[in-house]
Structure 1
């Protein structure tokens, strides 16, 4: 429920009430000019109206009619052709905040933006319609489509993403955050909010213990819990591949919580792979929360412990809690790396500790570029892994941790229903969020404070026992119609889902460009755009070719001259790759002091043959006892591409069956004494001792309030949380469906 002050709570319990409302347009209070208003919220559920389950999104709409003031009519002040000085208060896109209450106590009920306004000549009225925060998520839906989980032919890894991960990603694109967002210079960002996929960059692969997602003790929203016996390792390719000569610094960071299992070593290791010809160079950074040691290695051995090492000690790492870990990483002009850890322990007062710089004394790396970055987590929870390119080392709390630079405006339930692949989508981000909510039996909404909330099917799968509020026929109930119908019964529920367990990568698809050589002057940038099939998985940022592999796939060729025989150049050009639908943009920035030449590129992505395509599958759950009383009542739910494994499909099928196995009472429009604290999704206890003889709990799935002339009415749409039990038919002998001994038809 909405929080109310003591005066409002007392007023709600009182028998006599008078209405109060407030409306602000563009931050200006116009409450005294409001002639009438109406506010409606309801889930756009596609489940049967009578079923004890609900899903979908809600987009609240506020309609306000305002009058003029100061001797001027409303159309003259606020109409479409009104002067900007007065009319902008009601222009489309303008902010709207409305609240209402009783006996002087007011609760915010709506926060959104103006959708349209209309003014009729000869009247003193302007009608304004506004929609809630869903309007902020109307940008085109854009999702990454990595193939990293498909490279495992056994199908073990299903954690590339989840519906929650997708929703979180779409919200972030609209500036709605659940955790620190990508920085301006981010080249790799993985929220780890229910999926290993990168929000910025590319998921290359996963191995080790499968890990899983947790809300408990997550630093912000949800976190990856690493393997217990061995690390969970995720490999990424950044969206931009910096060079190790004349480059800016790199800031590696993540949030971690150590309150989990205390009986095994807790570590996080980052390993970077720098390609310079045929011999990679590795720089690794390790944080051991059990021993309070931070270690860095540099060298050509893929096993970092066999390379040159630097080490720091920070005793407070062994303290249980949440930490922000940062590594500042720079290269000298001769290829020697320098690293410095920065550690911040979360708490009411946070202050980063800047540990000393450590420089490797030997084994400089050859001129080259970053290619891959791995992130390995063992026995702890991590969130918001990020790599950013910066011109200067973070020097304070805000720069190191982003503290105070963002605001949390969304909360999501535990990530469930794992996915191996992220599908191609179309329409707006809100369209996709709505589709996912319906497919996975979840709900999506912006509440009256403008805060986005995502709730899984578990919100109604578990029958509540305690109400948020009680409404009775003795006082609150104005009218109530209660029905019970067989359409509310669904005792054979089938979920149609997309089976990805059989999907295997069979090879690669390649997109090439080999134009006439193009010069890139020192410090200059070259941009090329390639068209790709919209169904193609995202191509990786390619490696810079050296002399022996210039014709290989996944290579970008840079040479010292325009001749095909001129020497290849490594460590000079930064490469970044961005995809937008069917177009891939490659940006090359020459960080060297000499002109170089672009000779062409090959981009790749994995493909799977038709015999390995995902196939439509069905999972059914039934209840024979219910069928014996009500007959077979069938419901088929299409989860589309958002359910990709057997366990998830069976979970949803069982949830639907349990929601429809016996028909609950259907509560039609319920008019109550106005109570501004009631929210969508609240549990209401309905007690009617005058007519329907009802005492039951119900969910609020629709809430409409309207006011005019100092009076407010409120009508709820409710769904019962449980049925009236199993039929007994005590003392009854139901007649058979056909008359006994009836003659056969001729």
Structure 2
């Protein structure tokens, strides 16, 4: 339910009105309709969860005299009629209390030269989600970027994938990535960055545990972690020196006092600039010149208790300014050492004391001057009901973002939609169905009709979850075989091209892209490390390395896409009519090669991690009618922990093992503040003698000719009888005789019995 100042208590005394802004300017309307609904391929009894249908609207424009005289049409270059893709904000209200109903664009416009009527269709911002997204296969414990270093325990909750997809489409729960960004890690369920690379990551104080993320007001935030990143200067003119404006940004939970600290630190060797949050929620800009630390400026909690986003801006002349998203700021100055102004930044460190009460996210470092701290929050996410980590997630290559989000929402039985303000909303099944009621609708005063339906199609005999289980092989060295050729033979002048990518049930992590050609340094080859090419030249006299007397022999590898490579081997001109075989030599020419590595096919591609996916089934606890169909629900890789799978199967089976009527069309007195996901009580004491706890999954509202209509629908979460049923009377009567009733009802008036027929006995 939206909160609107001045919204009237008695709407019957005020005429409803509509307002539509097109590209920021008001345009008069004759009528306005807006429809919203949560859709799903699931049975109607659980259709409140998952799916996304665009909010749409239709508007008939009030054509004024100036337009009528020129006969409105789209070819005259005027602003009217509105054009497809024009930005639109639609309101409905009473008096001066307007309530936003849709933020989006003109979907289409049409008119009639004869009648002069002009109308348009409206649609929300769903088209922002119609774009391809790609990202590599990921693990919760990623192999190190540098061979032999520790695993980077970044963690990975399902909400991280949601947020990553949304950020690609311009929906941001934490500050968006800005120009000149060299590092960005939203920390929405993982320490994995969207810009830069991870050098080291673990829970603060526990080097063998993953960083810890917990719920925040914006979604999920870092609660315990010590993470070291390597910045990426490709978007900042390949320069990491503070010889131009640099900014550090962080998002912090509001109103918290903690016993520890958090900081984002840009480092140049032993020198650094940091934006920190202390134990009293004081926001500090600090400079370490290589030998000592200086607090250059700060904002106390009293100044910024309600602020959530802070940006530190540092100029080359040593000017420091901290900005808060509440409008507060503070400045100071210090002398920057030459290590910072004359050399490239080498690391970014993000730190939060273990579970001290501070929660941060949206960590970012960029070169440039932007008001990132004032960027609006355009996504609000709840953590998944399945709170445990994903151990792996498969590679995503040019998948439609909307399709991916629908797939995840369907798998988790979560709900998603774009609200009236254009903010993407993601609510897990537990939060959605467990929310308290925000209002009460009285059938006598507020309801014009109650339309319900119940269908056998919503009932299932049992629920079977189908999921993907990850089987992970990982190492600190590139010794996991990803792909190996079949041992081809090439004649002089011939070449072989192999397009290499993971099989459909496998993924590769941190592929060794540094292809080496044999013969060479056999140390790593003999130990089964690295990516290799090579071959031998053979004839009746035996074999020798293909490179001997053949400078034209070559092997190269080209990256076509993430985890997709083309490996090309050119036979060149082998001597003495020899044939090139793509393998290591046999014993005749095996100097330097261990016995276990002889007659091995080449080329070979290795990685630090290989994931093989296998199928898993989980059956729900609750059993329905045997004649009903089985509900097979495919959750793919989105839910992986066995306990979470069983919880989901049990929850889903509880929704479908018996018929559960839904309210399809509840015609109500319009309240423009109602929203999808609202929970309300619908009370009917006169006819149905029942009150229903309704989760609203559908709203249709229309204003025309000074009147308004609204229809809502949704899923019944709870039903309570307000009267006495025949079954209750039968149970109450039991085997009582007439004498028994005389004693039971002694001295009771008819009015008392009518009011409380079960009150005696």
Shared fold by TM > 0.5? yes
- Contact kept in structure 2, 1:57 and 1:445, CA below 8 Å: yes
Partner of 2:364: 386
Change (3 A) 1:706 1:646: same
414-423 vs 687-696, greater mean Cα deviation: 414-423
- Contact kept in structure 1, 2:38 and 2:47, CA below 8 Å: no
* Structure-2 separation of matches of 1:692 and 1:487: 25
Change (3 A) 1:38 1:288: closer
Give the one of 21, 25, 34 matched to 1:24: 21
> Does residue 107 of structure 1 match 2:99?
yes
- TM-score normalised by length of structure 2: 0.66
Deviation at residue 184 of structure 1 after TM alignment? 0.9
Change (3 A) 1:615 1:86: same
Give the one of 224, 227, 237 matched to 1:233: 227
Deviation at residue 97 of structure 1 after TM alignment? 2.3
Partner of 2:617: 618
Partner of 1:682: 678
- Contact kept in structure 1, 2:140 and 2:156, CA below 8 Å: no
Deviation at residue 433 of structure 1 after TM alignment? 2.5
Deviation string 1:460-489 (CA, Å, 9 cap, x unpaired) is 342x44x32322331222211345556555
Change (3 A) 1:234 1:682: same
Partner of 1:186: 181
Stretches of structure 1 that go unaligned for 5 or more consecutive residues are 275-280, 299-307, 331-337, 391-397, 512-530, 556-576, 585-603, 733-746
Partner of 2:405: 433
Partner of 1:705: 701
> Does residue 450 of structure 1 match 2:422?
yes
* Structure-2 separation of matches of 1:245 and 1:3: 46
Deviation string 1:427-486 (CA, Å, 9 cap, x unpaired) is 433333233222222222222222222212222342x44x32322331222211345556
Give the one of 14, 25, 36 matched to 1:41: 36
- Contact kept in structure 2, 1:703 and 1:714, CA below 8 Å: yes
Change (3 A) 1:288 1:95: closer
Change (3 A) 1:649 1:360: same
Deviation at residue 348 of structure 1 after TM alignment? 6.0
* Structure-2 separation of matches of 1:250 and 1:583: 38
* Structure-2 separation of matches of 1:607 and 1:71: 70
* Structure-1 separation of matches of 2:239 and 2:432: 54
- What secondary structure does 1:385 align onto? strand
Stretches of structure 2 that go unaligned for 5 or more consecutive residues are 485-498, 533-557, 566-604, 732-761
Deviation at residue 340 of structure 1 after TM alignment? 9.4
- Contact kept in structure 2, 1:190 and 1:197, CA below 8 Å: yes
* Structure-1 separation of matches of 2:238 and 2:530: 21
Change (3 A) 1:329 1:537: farther
Partner of 2:328: 349
The residue correspondences of 1:93-492 to structure 2 (distance < 5 A) are: 93-102=85-94, 105-143=97-135, 145-146=137-138, 149-151=141-143, 160-203=155-198, 206-207=201-202, 208=207, 209-216=209-216, 222-226=220-224, 231-236=225-230, 238=232, 240=234, 248=243, 251=246, 253-255=248-250, 257=252, 262=258, 266=261, 268=263, 289=278, 309-313=291-295, 324=310, 349-358=328-337, 373=348, 375-379=350-354, 380-389=358-367, 402-404=372-374, 406-414=375-383, 416=387, 418-423=389-394, 424-462=396-434, 464-465=435-436, 467-484=437-454, 488=458, 492=462
* Structure-2 separation of matches of 1:339 and 1:27: 41
Change (3 A) 1:135 1:323: closer
Change (3 A) 1:161 1:639: same
Kindly tell me the number of residue pairs found equivalent between the two proteins.
616
> Does residue 507 of structure 1 match 2:480?
yes
* Structure-1 separation of matches of 2:98 and 2:390: 44
* Structure-2 separation of matches of 1:434 and 1:257: 30
* Structure-2 separation of matches of 1:97 and 1:256: 29
> Does residue 54 of structure 1 match 2:54?
no
- Contact kept in structure 1, 2:104 and 2:123, CA below 8 Å: yes
Partner of 1:85: 78
Deviation string 1:513-544 (CA, Å, 9 cap, x unpaired) is xxxxxxxxxxxxxxxxxx9859876879999x
Deviation string 1:247-270 (CA, Å, 9 cap, x unpaired) is 85694735275987955x545575
Deviation string 1:17-56 (CA, Å, 9 cap, x unpaired) is 6442223333343334x2x443211012222112485222
Deviation at residue 205 of structure 1 after TM alignment? 5.6
Cα RMSD (Å): 5.2
- Contact kept in structure 2, 1:310 and 1:360, CA below 8 Å: no
Deviation at residue 158 of structure 1 after TM alignment? 7.8
* Structure-2 separation of matches of 1:288 and 1:716: 46
420-429 vs 672-681, greater mean Cα deviation: 420-429
- Contact kept in structure 2, 1:189 and 1:385, CA below 8 Å: yes
* Structure-2 separation of matches of 1:289 and 1:646: 39
- Contact kept in structure 1, 2:676 and 2:697, CA below 8 Å: yes
> Does residue 645 of structure 1 match 2:620?
no
Deviation at residue 360 of structure 1 after TM alignment? 6.7
- Contact kept in structure 2, 1:344 and 1:351, CA below 8 Å: yes
The residue correspondences of 1:481-630 to structure 2 (distance < 5 A) are: 481-484=451-454, 488=458, 492-500=462-470, 502=472, 504=474, 507=480, 533=501, 606=607, 608-609=609-610, 612-623=611-622
Deviation at residue 671 of structure 1 after TM alignment? 1.1
Change (3 A) 1:443 1:196: same
Structure having greater relative contact order (Cα 8 Å, sep ≥ 6): 1
- What secondary structure does 1:170 align onto? helix
**Structure showing greater Rg:** 2
Change (3 A) 1:116 1:533: farther
